[in-house]
Amino acid sequence: TLDSVRRDAPWAWLKAGFADMMASPVISIGYGIAVTVTGLLITAGLWSVGQAAMVPVLAGGFALIAPAFAVGIYRIYHVRESGQTPRLLAFWSLPPGRIGQLALLSVLLL
């Protein structure tokens, strides 16, 4: 329940996330840069063809595909937790049971 979550728990979560990022900085930061650059290129492209009004629409649509992008970040944690070294190409694979869960989450976000 919400009452059982300590007030300082988010700081512990951020610390753990930062530790994961620093354990694989090239992959973590590279992944973030790739997503950011893709968004900037799409925005610049829309702006250049006079469709800047579509940027907020696409930003809303991003909520539908964001879970798919987040899979790569979550895989860093799971690979490290299993005692393996994270590799870039390992994040393009998804465990078989997770594809349905990802699809369900995307449908629920509609």
Per-residue model confidence as pLDDT tens digits over 48-61: 999 999 999 988 88
Provide the residue range defining the domain that includes 90: 8-108
Residue 90 inside a domain? The answer is yes
Distance CA 60, CA 97 (A): 27
Distance CA 24, CA 19 (A): 9
Q: What is the pTM of this model?
A: 0.66
What is the end-to-end Cα distance of the chain in Å, rounded?
27
Residue 1 inside a domain? The answer is no
Residue 56 inside a domain? The answer is yes
pLDDT in tens, 9-58: 999 999 988 988 888 888 888 888 988 898 899 999 999 999 999 999 98
Q: How many domains does the chain have?
A: 1
Residue 66 inside a domain? The answer is yes
Q: DSSP state, 24? A: S
Residue 3 inside a domain? The answer is no
